[in-house]
């Protein structure tokens, strides 16, 4: 009887381990905040925040953001390098951030602070 219990336990552990390997964590997330400055005299309705994975420069998320924003962004599992691009309708200027290693829970509680995002385009 003891051998059967041990065998069942081992089979259970192997099954659960296989599930964990086949279906690892499905997503990660981070928070980002900032304030967008533009030449417009009227407040902007919304702008666009694009999140790119550095490896392959692949767009992974596109979000609408207000001029003063703090958003949570869901990304793929694991810690990877990302950058963000902010643009506004009718404004040719775009803002590209530096590279961030995102995917740990740290950046959920401590948002990536982009500060003042200047899209005023001094040309």
Please give the domain boundaries of the chain with CATH numbers for all domains: 28-118 (2.60.40.10)
Instruction: Tell me, rounded to whole angstroms, the distance of Cα 89 from its chain centroid.
Output: 22
Q: pTM of this prediction?
A: 0.74
CB burial class (10 A; 0-12, 13-18, 19+) of residue 16? exposed
Per-residue confidence at 123, pLDDT binned at 50, 70, 90? very low
100, 83 Cβ separation under 8 angstroms: yes
CA Rg, the chain, in Å? 21
Q: What is the pLDDT of residue 10?
A: 73
Q: Which residues contact 5 (CB under 8 A, 6 or more apart)?
A: none
What is residue 43's predicted lDDT score, i.e. its pLDDT? 52
- pLDDT of residue 40 exceeding 80, the answer is no
């Amino acid at each position: 009887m003891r051998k059967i219990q041990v065998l069942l336990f081992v089979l259970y552990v192997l099954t659960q381990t296989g599930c964990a390997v086949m279906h690892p964590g499905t997503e990660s997330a981070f928070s980002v905040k900032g304030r967008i400055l533009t030449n417009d005299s009227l407040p902007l309705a919304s702008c666009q925040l694009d999140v790119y994975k550095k490896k392959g420069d692949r767009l992974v998320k596109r979000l609408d953001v207000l001029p003063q924003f703090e958003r949570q962004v869901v990304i793929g599992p694991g810690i990877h390098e990302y950058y963000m691009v902010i643009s506004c309708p009718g404004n040719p200027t775009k803002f590209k951030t530096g590279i961030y290693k995102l995917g740990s829970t740290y950046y959920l509680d401590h948002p990536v602070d982009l500060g003042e995002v200047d899209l005023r385009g001094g040309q």
